[in-house]
Amino acid sequence: MEMQGTRHLAVTQQQAWDALNDPQVLKVCIPGCDKVEPAGDNQYAIGMGVKVGPVAARFAGRIHLQDVMAPNSYTLTFEGNGGAAGFGKGSAQVNLAPPTEGAGCELNYTAKAQVGGKIAQVGQRLVDGVARSMADDFFRRFDEEMQRRHPDAYAAAAAAPLPVSPLGEPAGRRMPLWVWIAFGVVVLIALLLLAR
């Protein structure tokens, strides 16, 4: 499975970076997650419950951040195991950058993952649908958490006029880059959890 996306965030690049590297923020934002703990240099142990069709399981896994270039990018690798339910592993490239226009930052991600065991047997379409749903939920929660932590940035973004595309249409309604990056992280985490 491969996913990629881009999101625009109202918060600064540094604020988004800090949040994406904060275990407490990740724990709040990852659906079904009950544990995100440091487990070494640029490593985290995670635990979460996942349900894919008729298969429900508790997954435990590990996330490792590599090629860290704060506050711009990192590569996230993950692996997880859900016992008899199956396993998951993969990687995601996450990039944050100043926006081409206006305030906030842009978030880009590209994620690749594979699952095996009972989870894989329920069908790729169902697994893909659950992964995308979890990613959407992660980004919604991440956006809410950023609004809670940085209300001024969101108030300023709401008050700013939308840029206009060359076709004369508002150009600011696409999904923010940070949401896509967060989505990539969620998908990677979900795969990691599904893998355990």
Six-digit token pair at 129? Answer: 């649908």
The per-residue pLDDT for 104 is: 92
The residue ranges of every structural domain in the chain are 2-159+173-194
Percentage of the residues of the chain whose pLDDT score is greater than 90? 30
Radius of gyration over every alpha carbon of the chain, rounded to an integer in angstroms: 17
Q: How far apart are CA 44 and CA 192, in angstroms?
A: 11
The whole-chain average pLDDT of the chain stands at 79
Q: Is-contact 139 28, C-beta < 8 A?
A: no
When pLDDT is averaged across residues 68-80 and rounded to a whole number, the result is 92
Q: How far apart are CA 74 and CA 94, in angstroms?
A: 6
Instruction: State the pTM of this model.
Output: 0.75
The per-residue pLDDT for 169 is: 43
More confident residue, 180 or 16: 16
- Per-residue pLDDT tens over the stretch 141-167: 888 899 999 999 988 888 876 554 444
Six-digit token pair at 125? Answer: 């379409």
- Per-residue pLDDT tens over the stretch 94-124: 899 998 888 899 988 888 878 888 877 877 7
The per-residue pLDDT for 163 is: 52
When pLDDT is averaged across residues 73-81 and rounded to a whole number, the result is 90
Is the peptide bond preceding residue 170 cis, with omega within 30 degrees of 0?
no
Question: 73 pLDDT band (50/70/90 cuts)?
Answer: very high
The per-residue pLDDT for 69 is: 96
Q: Residue written as tokens 């609004």?
A: 147
Angle (CA) 143 148 154, round 5° = 65
- The verdict on domain 2-159+173-194 having CATH code 3.30.530.20 is yes
